[in-house]
Amino acid sequence: MSRVGRVERNTKETSVVVEIDLDGSGKVDVSTGVGFYDHMLDQLGRHGLFDLTVKTEGDLHIDSHHTIEDTALALGGAFKQALGDKVGIYRFGNCTVPLDESLAQVTVDLSGRPYLVHTEPEKMAPMIGEYDTTMTRHILESFVAQAQIALHVHVPYGRNAHHIVECQFKALARALRYASERDPRAAGILPSTKGAL
Ligand SMILES: [Mn+2]
């Protein structure tokens, strides 16, 4: 049984296609027109061991906001689709990832309810290439809203903006992988006493 998701999203601001295979091998083909964001989505696929295709054409003549946000929305939707009925998965996952001087701690519950808690250093370079660093929280909000997961992301310390953002995507990738992977002891079992996730 394959666990794949596909979302196509078209508005006057952006056209987005996202495909994800949760049981992939980290094969990534991403192009959003925002170099640093491509680099982050590459981390997500690689460290999540997801096969991930992202094609976004957005209104970059305005700025990168819609392009980044709408891609995150589609990614969240595709991830939720791929999770399917959530039978036999671990459900919870966490990972702490350092990147030189920066540290990210990510905890996830594939709960069916959207909730984000996010903290990162307030002082950070405002831009990384065309990537506005205030967009990281907006990406996580958008992803969480569509994926319907509880996500806690904390960067207790860090100095370099590139490192601060990248360690969050790496830890997110690994936490999502652990939570979505099949638990060999739980085959056929839904990880909820409520009977629904
Ligand atoms: Mn927005």
Phi and psi torsions of 128, nearest 5°: -120, 100
Break the chain into its structural domains and give their ranges. 4-186
Distance 139 CA to ligand 1 centre (A): 9
Model confidence band, residue 77 (pLDDT cutoffs 50, 70, 90): very high
Model confidence band, residue 1 (pLDDT cutoffs 50, 70, 90): confident
Give mean pLDDT, residues 60-86: 98
pLDDT digits 0-9 by tens, 12-65: 999 999 999 999 999 999 999 999 999 999 999 999 999 999 999 999 999 999
pLDDT digits 0-9 by tens, 88-133: 999 999 999 999 999 999 999 999 999 999 999 999 999 999 999 9
Strands 127-128 and 131-132: antiparallel
Distance 14 CA to ligand 1 centre (A): 13
Separation of alpha carbons 22 and 16, rounded Å:
19
- Domain 4-186, what fold? Ribosomal Protein S5; domain 2 (3.30.230)
pLDDT of res. 116? 98
Is the pTM higher than 0.95? The answer reads yes
- How many Å is the Cα radius of gyration of the chain? 16
Distance 58 CA to ligand 1 centre (A): 13
pLDDT digits 0-9 by tens, 137-153: 999 999 999 999 999 99
Distance 20 CA to ligand 1 centre (A): 23
pLDDT of res. 96? 98
Distance 87 CA to ligand 1 centre (A): 33
pLDDT of res. 94? 98
Distance 23 CA to ligand 1 centre (A): 30
